[in-house]
């Protein structure tokens, strides 16, 4: 008899894995009502139009990056390392929100095993309804549809249709909302920063950068900004007497977003005489266009042109041993 396992679903945004995937990736992104809240009847037509318009411009970014986002490969590597740490009592799969492997693909892979419990583990350390919340909502939708029937399956029919689905209602599902202040996560961030710093770093300015959000989302109660600020404070407790600030990047659309913007903060700092910068992505755990194109290419070149003497961009955590240990402990604690 096959052994029952605990399923671990790593949740991430996803990114286009080829130039041809850029437009459908953008379409999926702009179709998500958890991020873009426009009237649902027109959301998909608007998403199609926006994705068509933005794909041409965005293609240039990915050409500079080598033709694709590396997020898929890096997330799969994180899953592999976590699987090795957890052992055979667990089954780790990856569910991307906007590109392959999608949530339904992850569930199909997961239920090739006999699963007794599911743990949803977002690769977003800070919670936002636009990231973790959206991934949770997608999981809730897909777990009820077309899953290979097994011992725990309850066969039903979608309301108003004849389409069957299998809902594993007897399997406990644990959702890990965030770990922005988890001591192991903070330790992973600190170690990762130190590994890229020169020995004498006290004359460097630490600029943390996080993905921005529309200000309205924060005013509506989203904890992302406050959690990000807490993460930065806990990290900086390990770097006394080093000056630092937090800025936001990747604004899209005309509405007001969280500020200051990262490029404007870089310009301000250099003009005020801070010529040695350490730029630290704080809301990302893998590389993608926001780090490889915006931070490295756009902002790195801008800093050089403005007269920066040193521009050190800290790599994302990826498979840093302490980060994988963080994920392992989160899973064990919730098993």
The two structure tokens encoding residue 230 = 């807490």
Give residue 170's pLDDT.
65
The mean per-residue pLDDT over the stretch 137-141 comes to 92
CATH number of 4-17+70-179+322-333: 3.40.50.1400
pLDDT in tens, 265-291: 999 999 999 999 999 999 999 999 999
pLDDT bucket at 189, cuts 50 / 70 / 90: very high
The H-assigned helical ranges of the chain are: 22-30, 40-64, 71-86, 103-110, 134-142, 183-195, 215-219, 224-236, 262-271, 289, 300-305, 321-333
- Does the annotation list 329 as a binding residue? no
Give residue 165's pLDDT.
46
The pLDDT > 90 percentage for the chain reads 81
Check whether 253 has a pLDDT greater than 80: no
The mean per-residue pLDDT over the stretch 304-309 comes to 97
Higher-scoring residue by pLDDT: 41, 209 = 209
Check whether 186 has a pLDDT greater than 70: yes
Using DSSP, state whether 106 is helix, strand or coil. helix
What is the β-pairing status of strands 276-281 and 173-175? unpaired
Check whether 19 has a pLDDT greater than 70: yes
CATH number of 197-314: 3.40.50.1400
- Does the annotation list 211 as a binding residue? yes
**24-28, 109-113, 149-153: lowest mean pLDDT where?**
149-153
pLDDT in tens, 97-118: 999 999 999 999 998 888 889 9
The pLDDT > 70 percentage for the chain reads 92
Check whether 158 has a pLDDT greater than 50: no
Give residue 35's pLDDT.
84
Check whether 129 has a pLDDT greater than 70: yes
Mean pLDDT across the chain, nearest whole number?
91
The mean per-residue pLDDT over the stretch 48-69 comes to 93
Domain with CATH 3.40.50.1400 in the chain: 4-17+70-179+322-333, 197-314
Check whether 164 has a pLDDT greater than 80: no
Question: Is 91 in contact with 6 (CB distance < 8 Å)?
Answer: yes
Start-to-end C-alpha separation, the chain: 22
The mean per-residue pLDDT over the stretch 34-59 comes to 90
Query: Within 13 Å, how many C-alpha atoms sit on residue 79's CB side?
Result: 24
**Residue 299 CB neighbour total at 10 angstroms:** 23
């Amino acid at each position: 008899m096959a052994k029952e396992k605990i399923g671990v679903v790593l949740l991430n945004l996803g990114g286009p894995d080829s130039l041809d995937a850029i437009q459908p990736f953008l379409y999926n992104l702009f179709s998500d009502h958890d991020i873009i809240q426009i009237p649902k009847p027109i959301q998909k037509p608007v998403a199609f139009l926006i994705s068509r318009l933005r794909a041409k411009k965005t293609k240039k970014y990915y050409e500079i990056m080598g033709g694709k986002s590396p997020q898929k490969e890096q997330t799969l590597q994180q899953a592999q390392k976590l699987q090795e740490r957890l052992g055979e009592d667990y089954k780790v799969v990856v569910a991307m929100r906007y590109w392959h492997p999608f949530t339904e693909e992850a569930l199909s892979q997961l239920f090739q095993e006999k699963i007794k419990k599911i743990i949803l583990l977002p690769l977003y350390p800070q919670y936002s309804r636009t990231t973790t919340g959206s991934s949770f909502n997608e999981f809730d939708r897909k777990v009820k549809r077309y899953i290979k029937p097994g011992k725990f399956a309850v066969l039903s029919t979608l309301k108003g249709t004849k389409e069957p689905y299998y809902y594993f209602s007897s399997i406990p599902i644990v959702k890990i909302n965030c770990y922005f202040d988890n001591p192991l996560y903070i330790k992973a961030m600190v170690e990762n920063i130190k590994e890229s710093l020169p020995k004498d770093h006290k004359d460097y300015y630490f600029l943390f950068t996080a993905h921005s959000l529309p200000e309205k989302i924060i005013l509506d109660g989203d904890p992302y900004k406050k959690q990000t600020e807490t993460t930065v404070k806990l990290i900086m407790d390990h770097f006394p007497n080093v000056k630092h600030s937090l800025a936001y990047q990747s604004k899209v659309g005309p509405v007001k977003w969280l500020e200051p913007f990262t490029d404007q903060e870089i310009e301000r700092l250099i003009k005020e005489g801070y010529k040695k910068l350490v730029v630290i992505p704080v809301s990302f755990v893998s590389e993608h266009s926001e780090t490889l194109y915006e931070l490295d290419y756009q902002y790195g070149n801008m800093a050089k042109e403005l007269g920066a003497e040193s521009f050190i961009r800290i790599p994302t955590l990826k498979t840093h041993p302490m980060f994988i240990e963080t994920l392992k402990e989160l899973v064990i604690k919730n098993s």
